[in-house]
């Protein structure tokens, strides 16, 4: 699934994204650390994996592949 970065705090490595329907979804440090990123900027397009509860589990740039689900 793709989204757009709304905010990112480099100190906590957490933030939020907008889904394409405008829904805002937060992500935590674990989701950021699950990908290969060092920084995000507002407006960047990202790929996200979301669990059954709607929580983002992985966030990475749209040009990077998401890890395969097992």
**Tens of pLDDT, residues 1-17:** 999 999 999 999 999 99
Which fold is adopted by the domain 2-61? OB fold (Dihydrolipoamide Acetyltransferase, E2P) (2.40.50)
**Structure confidence by residue, pLDDT tens digits, 27-59:** 999 999 998 889 999 999 999 999 999 899 999
Q: How far apart are CA 11 and CA 55, in angstroms?
A: 21
Would you list the domain boundaries of the chain?
A: 2-61
Question: β-pairing, 14-19 with 24-27?
Answer: antiparallel
Contact 5, 41 (CB under 8 A): yes
pLDDT at 70: 39
């Amino acid at each position: 699934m793709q989204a757009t970065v709304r905010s990112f705090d480099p100190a906590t490595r957490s933030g939020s994204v907008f889904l394409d329907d405008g829904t805002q979804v937060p992500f935590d440090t674990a989701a950021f650390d699950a990908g290969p990123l060092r920084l995000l900027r507002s407006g960047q397009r990202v790929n996200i994996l979301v669990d059954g509860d709607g929580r983002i589990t992985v966030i990475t740039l749209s040009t990077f592949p998401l890890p395969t689900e097992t």
